[in-house]
Amino acid sequence: MIHSNISDRFIFSDGQTRLLGVFGDPIAHSLSPKIHNLSLSKLDLNYHYLPFHVRPHQLATAVHGFKALGGVGFNATVPHKVPLLSLMDSLDPAALKIGAVNTVAIAKNGQLNGYNTDAYGFITALKEKYSETLSQKNILVLGAGGACRAVLLALLDEGADNIILANSTVTKAEELASDFNHHYPQTKITPIALDFLAIDLTHIDILVNTTSLGLHGEDNFPLSIEQLPPHALVYDIVYSANTQTPLQKLANSQGLAFIDGLGMLIHQAARAFQIWTGEEMPVALVKKHIFSK
Ligand code: ATR
């Protein structure tokens, strides 16, 4: 366990302890309190990070209540990331382009500053394991939901210039492609209908799953990936702290390089941590103690 790294602050708060947290519905599954409290404790920073079960109709009340209590900042997860946009006094460029807020910092004057650190988390985890440039790679992205917007922004900012966007509801892929093509006119983003049985994988260098498939304990991923070339990288933004994701099992069986969503989770948290505290999260410690599968 982690006892040797725990300072007294992890157990005791005092009159100067500052408040951080995460708002979600549901929230009980969240790993963010562990990630942040371990890091705060290790660096002996006098903050506590708590989970808050905030229902959608109470989001604005919760935000203003948190601010009234002198909270320093909070993360947001499903279903609050998009509704938070309209409650912010300022938005960073990533939150604007993604159209969602996952991190809020409350300034001393009460100003609510919205950030999105998901794209940073995605690309930082990718670069940890993949040293090649993204330019001239054929990248297939599955899904076109909220999480996909952060992934697209990250890929485009990193120089990707050929992305196929496959979604069951093809109109959503078309809307997303046209939205991002507008911001990144030199990139080819091709929307297609996701047909798991017919999709051509033979020329794909990087396959990214941003759908929620695998998030709810499914055993199988409905795609046959045998066609992928041996050099292909498979990146599933789904994660499980204890087991392999269904797509991970497939990638392993083919001997393909694989990244799951844990790195993205840790690095988006690390960026939020840095925004609130000005300090670097001890990422290696977090990986070792919370995610050693
Ligand atoms: P998130 O914020 O996690 O991205 P979301 O916005 O609800 O969640 O998006 C979920 C994504 O998973 C969508 O791309 C969805 O496809 P549709 O837009 O066609 O609904 C995709 N998805 C969910 N279940 C799926 C399934 N069984 N097969 C294929 N795609 C699925």
CATH second-level architecture of 18-116+264-292?
3-Layer(aba) Sandwich (3.40)
- Establish whether the linkage from the previous residue to 26 is cis, with ω within 30° of 0: yes
Side chain identity, residue 290:
I
Integer Cα distance of 53 and 88 in angstroms: 20
Question: What's the CA-to-centroid distance between 124 and ligand 1, angstroms?
Answer: 24
> For residue 145, how far is its CA from the centre of ligand 1 (angstroms)?
6
3-class secondary-structure state, position 188: strand
- Which amino acid, residue 251? A
Looking at ligand 1, which atom is closest to the CA of residue 147? 4
139-142 vs 103-106, strand pairing mode:
unpaired
CB burial class (10 A; 0-12, 13-18, 19+) of residue 248? buried
The answer to whether 283 touches 263, Cβ cutoff 8 Å, is no
Q: What's the rounded Cα separation, in Å, for the pair 38 and 250?
A: 33
Both structure tokens of 144: 């076109």
- Establish whether residue 172 lines the binding site of ligand 1, counting it when its CB lies within 6 angstroms of any ligand atom: yes
Distance CA 86, CA 63 (A): 12
Q: Where are the domains of the chain?
A: 18-116+264-292, 119-259
Place domain 119-259 in its CATH homologous superfamily: NAD(P)-binding Rossmann-like Domain (3.40.50.720)
Backbone angles phi, psi at 47, to 5 degrees: -135, 155
pLDDT for position 11: 64
The span from the CA of 181 to the CA of 238, in Å, is 26
- Cα 94 from Cα 110, distance rounded (Å): 22
The pLDDT value given to residue 1 = 46
Q: Amino acid identity, residue 258? A: F
Q: Which atom of ligand 1 is nearest to the CA of 222?
A: 28
Ligand 1 centroid distance, CA of 108 (Å): 38
> pLDDT tens per residue, the chain (293 residues)?
445 556 555 667 889 999 999 999 999 989 999 999 999 999 999 999 999 999 999 999 999 999 999 999 999 999 999 999 999 999 999 999 999 999 999 999 999 999 999 999 999 999 999 999 999 999 999 999 989 999 999 999 999 999 999 999 999 999 999 999 988 988 999 999 999 889 999 999 999 999 999 888 788 899 999 999 999 999 999 987 778 999 999 999 999 999 999 999 999 999 999 999 999 999 999 999 887 65
For the chain, count helices (H), then strands (E): 9, 12
Distances (CA, A) of 230 to 172, 219, 234, 253, 258: 31, 24, 11, 12, 12
Per-residue pLDDT at 239: 86
Ligand 1 in contact with 213 (CB < 6 A)? yes
> Which residue matches tokens 């496959």?
166
Instruction: Copy the structure tokens of residue 111.
Output: 């100003």
Same fold, 18-116+264-292 and 119-259: yes
Q: Is 143 in the pocket of ligand 1 (CB under 6 A)?
A: yes
